[in-house]
Amino acid sequence: MPIFPNIEFADELCDIQKKANLISEEKDFSLSLNEKGVSLLKSTDKHPQEYSHPHVDQFVFPFYDFSVNVWGIKTKNAYLLVDTAPRKSPLDTELLKADITPSHVLITHHDEDHIGGLEALKLNYPDLQLTAPEGVAVLKTPGHREEHVSYYFREEELCVCGDALFAGSIGMPNYNAIKSLNSLSILLALPEDTLLLPGHGPATSVKWEREYNCFSTSA
């Protein structure tokens, strides 16, 4: 059964599936289809390597049969949340528990699992700013959705990429498959040591994704 019916790059799709099979055979993990992405690590809580960052907090919340990430980023002058989790998720409780008062909230795209909690955050933190501060680059990464963006923190060497990229894969290209692949190329053109923080599943890196992501031209 084709992953994308009636798309214009059937040959590339065939090659992608072959790459996915090879990755599954050669590495100690497997790729499987998932409704949130074309293919995902079977266990989205694990990655062949463990990635962390001293200025990053990961908040994970359930949403139907998968989980969604909210990323907290501490910079010199701000504490930013990227995405907000679904409506009624206990994000406020987690922030209070960690003694965190966010100064900014940024949104990668407008799906419920990423923006549902925004209104509650605005009520609880009325001084929240909704635009990226100086030092954070906004990258247009459409494909999963038309108005999808990623946030590149150059000084911290990390990029929050929403559903434009998952560990080993990409998000389902609900808007445009070719644009999804173009967006992946944009993300993989970042410095290889850049930490990538997806909307679902584990953190990864540009270096790892260049080599193993089944949609990467270098994989």
Single-letter amino acid code for the residue at 11: D
Confidence at 23, pLDDT banded by 50, 70, 90: very low
User: What's the rounded mean pLDDT across residues 175-193?
Assistant: 92
- In this structure, how many other beta carbons lie within 10 angstroms of the beta carbon of residue 41? 23
- Answer yes or no: pTM beyond 0.75: yes
1 within a domain of the structure (yes/no): no
Confidence at 214, pLDDT banded by 50, 70, 90: confident
| Whole-number Å distance between alpha carbons of 85 and 56 | 16
**CA 147 from centroid of its chain's CA atoms:** 15
- Segment 121-131, tens digit of pLDDT: 999 999 999 99
| Whole-number Å distance between alpha carbons of 195 and 111 | 23
pLDDT at 111 over 50: yes
pLDDT at 196 over 70: yes
219 within a domain of the structure (yes/no): no
| Whole-number Å distance between alpha carbons of 208 and 96 | 34
Average pLDDT, the chain: 83
Residue numbers of the domain that contains 51: 10-212
153 within a domain of the structure (yes/no): yes
CATH at 186? 3.60.15.10
| Whole-number Å distance between alpha carbons of 52 and 56 | 7
Q: Residue holding tokens 């993989």? A: 188
Query: Rounded to 5 degrees, what angle do the CA atoms 40, 152, 173 make?
Result: 35
pLDDT at 39 over 80: no
**CA 71 from centroid of its chain's CA atoms:** 10
33 within a domain of the structure (yes/no): yes
| Whole-number Å distance between alpha carbons of 153 and 73 | 9
- Name the percent of the chain lying above pLDDT 70: 79
217 within a domain of the structure (yes/no): no
- Output the CA–CA distances (angstroms, integers) from residue 191 to 19, 75, 111, in the order listed: 24, 19, 28
